[in-house]
A and B are shown apart, each in its own frame.
Chain A
Amino acid sequence: AQKITQTQPGMFVQEKEAVTLDCTYDTSDQSYGLFWYKQPSSGEMIFLIYQGSYDEQNATEGRYSLNFQKARKSANLVISASQLGDSAMYFCAMRPVEYSGAGSYQLTFGKGTKLSVIP
């Protein structure tokens, strides 16, 4: 079984500042993938970044980077130079790398963090 914990229900950040959204996970899988999604007020879930447990380097995608600490089982999302458009819900999720039958390959989500960017 997998579990994702996002301990920050809500966060505030000043525009142009950096912000870190926390995500810790628990899994018995040897190989797994970690995902971050953004959900703006429009409702659509937007893929942001992916980190494989087997990747040697932390993932980066533009202003998004993932601070992956495998031993601590954490995969925090760092957003640099926050913009007003970054205000949204952010979900951390994980999934095993290998499909091993029904029920094994689904994304497990955290409860999300609501980020508000202040002008």
Chain B
Amino acid sequence: EAGVTQFPSHSVIEKGQTVTLRCDPISGHDNLYWYRRVMGKEIKFLLHFVKESKQDESGMPNNRFLAERTGGTYSTLKVQPAELEDSGVYFCASSLLFGQRNEKLFFGSGTQLSVL
């Protein structure tokens, strides 16, 4: 069974440019999460999809970030325009059952974003 796949693994862009990160969850997982780790800080929640709907986007830092999950399969996270403080590792995770007590999140390997 394929795990959570993220693309690209690394991205280096200049301030003001646009970057789109992609996440392919485990097949059949309705729940998809985006998290981010900024250097030296904790991993922070960004948003949560249940199928194609945004269940919770309270962690999105500002309107430069746009997440989509068309058709309830893969998801994209677009940053436009990118700023220096957006640098970090962006993780995607998926899970099968939302709301289960020990709901296990399967994480991808992350996308390392560097904004210069």
Q: How far is the CB of B33 from chain A (nearest CB, A)?
A: 8
Residue contact A33 to B48, C-beta cutoff 8 Å: no
Q: How far is the CB of A100 from chain B (nearest CB, A)?
A: 11
Dominant secondary structure at the A interface: loop
Q: Are B43 and A109 in contact (CB under 8 A)?
A: yes
- Contact digits for B27-57, partner A, Cβ 8 Å, 1 yes 0 no: 0000000010000111111001000000111
Q: Which of A1-54 contact B (CB under 8 A)?
A: 4, 33, 37, 42-47, 50, 52
Q: Does residue A107 face the partner (Cβ distance < 8 Å to B)? A: yes
In the complex, chain B residues 95-116 whose Cβ is within 8 Å of any chain A Cβ: 98-99, 101-102, 104-110
Q: Once bound together, how far apart are the Cα atoms of A37 and B108, in whole Å?
A: 12
Residues of B within 8 A of A43 (CB): 9, 89, 109-110
A residues contacting the other copy or chain, number (CB 8 A): 24
Task: Decide if B109 touches A42 in the complex (CB within 8 Å).
Answer: yes
Residues of B near A109 (CB, < 8 A) are 35, 42-44
CB-defined contacts of B107 to chain A, threshold 8 Å: 37, 44-47
A106 at the interface (CB under 8 A from B): yes
Query: B residues engaging A (CB < 8 A)?
Result: 3, 9, 35, 40-45, 48, 55-59, 89, 91, 93, 98-99, 101-102, 104-110
Q: A91-B43, A109-B43 are in contact. List 18 more A-B contacts (CB 8 A).
A: A42-B109, A43-B9, A43-B109, A44-B108, A45-B93, A47-B105, A52-B101, A99-B98, A99-B99, A102-B56, A103-B56, A103-B59, A105-B56, A106-B45, A107-B35, A107-B105, A108-B45, A111-B42
